[in-house]
Structure 1
């Protein structure tokens, strides 16, 4: 009886393997000549020769494999190509995590907004709701950026998570928001569209928030004894908006300050390095040549920081920090899209150039410095 059960399990294992192969084999042989198949657990190894450029094999296979619940990669080992295919375990997204982080970030940004308005939360904690205008503004700026990435990725058929807001005790109450991409990027056009959507939409919302904030009355705020005050530097884009609105001075309403934060975040995200948005856009525009600029960017930021600290006697450590961060962040390089040879059209190239110019208009040598 035991021997019969063992033979049945072997038979079931063979039938499962044959069923797996039959589901994906027709798609594989269109781009890959197979001469041997091996199996280890749930993983299938197809040894063979690519019928097309090796870089395009996974570009052709990704969609049909994904539709059948598989993922794969092509490797060249010991003088032969091997296509590694395995079932994809699809875990259910925990939306409650996104919601909890969102609520927590609303709370932390509201506290910061109340402090900006001069509220003494220790003696009058119910006045925390005075920070809501800042909360609405900063969440709109950061949320629109990530939702633009999300919407564009879903438009192109990519799977991605909803935004994760990050509550953190900074002077704005958050470290921003992120989304997780699930699976490879199909081609350079998709890489460009997804990468550029966030900065463009986020910057547009930042401009709108800035205009609204500059038209709000700014009350005189007496700093609390324990509060840390900052003097901020205005980038050219913010100064242009001030001139158009007819408002001057450095005393900002918290809503206008949220617009300034949006511009600063846009600048950082558009740095053409690593897997920042600017790195995605540049990689899509230039292909693998973008790696040269990506590797140079930390050095440029370090020189800017050094210049500010030693020549201008200002606070340039933010640029030194980002130089070190990008050295680590960009060291791994940028993953190649599946169809890496699909070049961008002239319209996308033009939009990319304009976007980087807008990013430069958000730059200031000394973004902020503490007032002592």
Structure 2
């Protein structure tokens, strides 16, 4: 049953992501792409559940590679061509022309009326770009953007702020000003229609009752999940004393998720960015929830703000989860491992976990349990400890530097959009390799990473770099990801007394 649930989760997530992104980028029907991408997991589940056959990892890898490259080839061959330029020829490609993945960041501006050359004349644009700030050399009119190329002659932050003020003075609130780096690292400006101006004046409603309802429902689903994990049978879930056995787990999970999204909400608001309320995602099986999220309703102004929002959630979630794990380990007990392959770490479970599964878990378990933890033993986790450990795993998943995950935002903020996209492409294969070799419980997440675009959306000022303090903090939080997901290597197992 668990395999079918995982297949349904992968299938539905892939379906929604392709429907949202690839459907408007390629002539090839996105449902065809979905079927091609779902062949490997479908064959894997059918082999296990119907034919009682466990596919070798190399065969699974071959099927997956064939499926991935087939779907990417179909998508690229059917790629919709961008409209021809209006007035300038022979200019280098802009980020919107680079790759289907980078196009997924475009907003609903594509539905706006085409930009009129007569309305946005070269004379008006010249007034927006002082020669001592940005020497304007060429202008390319597109139906949904104006690309302004030239030489940047001032600090990126100062130049952006001055050009933005001039554009607002000349054209009002009609355009958003974007400053990006081209292929050769040469910055250019782009004026794109402002979604807020088109929605004039209609204010997007918040749904506090929906947010509260989802929170209460998630509390119920995590409460029942924690109770069942503590040994309560399903027919006893309406018995209050039995149900309350799941309270430590439910409170722990909600505290971790709530702190992660709550601090992101606060940081975004502090920077003046409108966001939705935090929404929890309840599910009536397995862990009781698939997490929580907030939606930014405005573009991020610069890479510093992008970094602050991205790093705030993992820091807050890690602090709460780490505290719960340490407290829960005090009430956890070591025990003999269940029967299984010799020398292989016990997979994640509500009750027993091998500390060798994670470098961080092994270090914390040795610090808290001391000599109680003997070589080769596993830990019977207290529900609070399991909630803390699960919270750290969720934080680590979000810190994977791919696309619009927190880790993708962080790498983008430190190194820029293009380098961040390249790091994301490499990371997806590294996580898959890790899942196929030493961490099989990561396989589902590794497959989902190939559905997530590797390119993050640009900030409005995507050229101004971070300060040194933020860069060091970003590298430190990414190192935290490695400590959580990597298993304990043999030499460290001996040093910690776990083997």
Q: TM-score by structure 1 length?
A: 0.73
From the superposition, tell whether residues 87 and 31 of structure 1 become closer, same or farther in structure 2 (CA, over 3 Å). Answer: farther
- Could you give the per-residue CA deviations for residues 91-118 of structure 1, whole angstroms, max 9, x where no partner exists? 1111111111100000000001111221
- Please say if residues 297 and 323 of structure 1, whose CA atoms lie closer than 8 Å, have aligned partners that are also in contact: no
- Is residue 177 of structure 1 aligned with residue 280 of structure 2? no
How many angstroms apart in 2 are the aligned matches of 1:62 and 1:159? 21
Deviation at 1:219, TM superposition (A): 12
Partner of 2:456: 334
- Please say if residues 74 and 84 of structure 1, whose CA atoms lie closer than 8 Å, have aligned partners that are also in contact: no
Identify the structure with the greater strand proportion. 1
How many angstroms apart in 2 are the aligned matches of 1:130 and 1:137? 13
Deviation at 1:270, TM superposition (A): 0.7
Deviation at 1:73, TM superposition (A): 4.5
- Could you give the per-residue CA deviations for residues 53-109 of structure 1, whole angstroms, max 9, x where no partner exists? 6x97699549996xx99563469xxxxx86535333321111111111100000000
- Is residue 122 of structure 1 aligned with residue 230 of structure 2? no
How many angstroms apart in 1 are the aligned matches of 2:172 and 2:353? 51
From the superposition, tell whether residues 229 and 156 of structure 1 become closer, same or farther in structure 2 (CA, over 3 Å). Answer: closer
- Could you give the per-residue CA deviations for residues 218-239 of structure 1, whole angstroms, max 9, x where no partner exists? 799xxxxxxx977545422222
From the superposition, tell whether residues 187 and 121 of structure 1 become closer, same or farther in structure 2 (CA, over 3 Å). Answer: same
- Is residue 276 of structure 1 aligned with residue 405 of structure 2? yes
- Please say if residues 298 and 322 of structure 1, whose CA atoms lie closer than 8 Å, have aligned partners that are also in contact: no
Partner of 1:112: 225
- Is residue 359 of structure 1 aligned with residue 481 of structure 2? yes
Partner of 1:261: 390
> Which stretches of structure 1, 4 residues or more, deviate above 4 A after TM superposition?
26-29, 44-53, 55-60, 62-65, 68-71, 217-220, 228-231
From the superposition, tell whether residues 286 and 358 of structure 1 become closer, same or farther in structure 2 (CA, over 3 Å). Answer: same
- The more displaced of 270-279 and 160-169 is 160-169
- Please say if residues 274 and 334 of structure 1, whose CA atoms lie closer than 8 Å, have aligned partners that are also in contact: yes
Alignment match of 2:447 (pick from 316, 321, 324) = 324
How many angstroms apart in 2 are the aligned matches of 1:170 and 1:64? 52
Deviation at 1:151, TM superposition (A): 1.2
- Aligned CA-pair RMSD: 3.6
- Is residue 91 of structure 1 aligned with residue 204 of structure 2? yes
- Could you give the per-residue CA deviations for residues 223-278 of structure 1, whole angstroms, max 9, x where no partner exists? xxxxx977545422222222222264410110000011011111111101111000
Q: TM-score by structure 2 length?
A: 0.55
Higher RCO (C-alpha under 8 Å, 6+ residues apart): 1
| Structure 1, gaps ≥5 residues long | 1-20, 34-43, 76-80, 221-227, 309-314, 367-372
From the superposition, tell whether residues 58 and 253 of structure 1 become closer, same or farther in structure 2 (CA, over 3 Å). Answer: same
From the superposition, tell whether residues 62 and 110 of structure 1 become closer, same or farther in structure 2 (CA, over 3 Å). Answer: farther
From the superposition, tell whether residues 199 and 83 of structure 1 become closer, same or farther in structure 2 (CA, over 3 Å). Answer: closer
How many angstroms apart in 2 are the aligned matches of 1:278 and 1:356? 7
Alignment match of 2:175 (pick from 72, 90, 103) = 72
| Structure 2, gaps ≥5 residues long | 1-118, 131-135, 137-142, 179-189, 336-348, 489-499
